[in-house]
Amino acid sequence: MDFKELEEKIAKTRDEEKILRKALQEADRGFIQPSFLPLKEVKKQMGQGTIYYSEEMIRIREVSFFQRHVRIPLPIDYLRVHTKKKHLTVLVNEILGLSLTMQFSVTEKKNISLEEVKAGILEQLKTTGIYIELLEEGMIQKTASPLHFLSYRLVIGENDMYHLVFYTVHQQNGSMLVGDYNCLYEDVPKWKNIMKATMSYLIFQ
């Protein structure tokens, strides 16, 4: 084998190594950073009953609470009922740090503003010395019971939490639902859009 043939063989080997290295990097990247879905796609798949991520699928089923006053789509393989009383329901997954708390009541005040709810949360946390970072807020228009929500980051050290607080007051019968859907902040890429999509499908009557 002459010198030119040796150079060509070495060059070919290096090209093959580059192709292999690139394939391994892409495989690792796909394993470490699974692709998550935009909110629009999550809403669509939630309506179809299953949300597909690259590494798993999340089954969604509508569940009723408070004598069917509330109907809400939930990831049934991830949340289990921890507490179920007449006016309180708590669902949890302690291993994943995922939970949903809902309180049902009747109020004479049907025009509770988001600012009032926000002030109440801030005041409650202020007394405990816990710091939160407000992230976003909004409203989903529904016929008889507009749904308001706000999200925040609860800063508690290594395991910060993401909270999506929501509430709605039925304009006809005065019934009120307040909820807190939360997860570990590191899991926001996976659960944030699922939580937000849930708000669109929640039925309160």
The residue length of the chain stands at: 205
Number of domains into which the chain is organized: 2
> Strand, helix or coil at 163?
strand
**Do 65 and 89 contact (CB within 8 A), yes or no?**
yes
Least reliable range by pLDDT among 37-46, 104-113, 186-195:
104-113
> Is residue 160 included in any domain, yes or no?
yes
CA atoms within 13 A on the CB side of 43: 9
Please tell me which of 17-21, 31-35, 127-131 the model is most confident about, judged by mean pLDDT. Answer: 127-131
- Mean pLDDT, residues 91-107 taken together: 92
In a domain, 200, yes or no: yes
Per-residue pLDDT reduced to its tens digit, 43-57: 999 999 999 987 789
pLDDT at 103 over 50: yes
What sign results for the dihedral spanned by CA atoms 23, 26, 30, 32? positive
| Mean of all residue pLDDT scores within the chain | 82
Same domain, 88 and 154: yes
Residue 28, amino acid: D
Mark out the alpha helices in 49-155 (DSSP H runs). 114-128
Q: Report if residue 42 sits inside a domain.
A: no
**Residue 53 in domain:** no
Q: What confidence score (pLDDT) does residue 109 get?
A: 67
**197 and 102 in one domain?**
yes
Question: Confidence band (pLDDT; 50, 70, 90) for 18?
Answer: low
The residue range of the domain holding 25 is 1-33
Are residue 6 and residue 88 in the same domain, yes or no? no
174 and 109 part of one domain: yes
User: Is 71 within a domain?
Assistant: yes
Q: Which of 6-20, 74-88, 153-167 has the highest mean pLDDT?
A: 74-88
Q: Is the pLDDT of residue 7 over 90?
A: no
**Res 157: pLDDT:** 72
- Identify whether residues 80 and 13 lie together within a single domain: no
The per-residue pLDDT for 189 is 92
How high is the pLDDT of residue 32?
Answer: 39
What is the Rg, in whole angstroms, of the alpha carbon atoms belonging to the chain? 24
pLDDT (0 to 100) of residue 16: 54
Same domain for 73 and 158? yes
Pair 115, 173 in one domain: yes
Neighbouring CB atoms inside 10 A of 199's CB total 21
111 and 162 both lie in a single domain: yes
Would you place residue 10 in the very low, low, confident or very high pLDDT band (cuts 50, 70, 90)?
A: very low
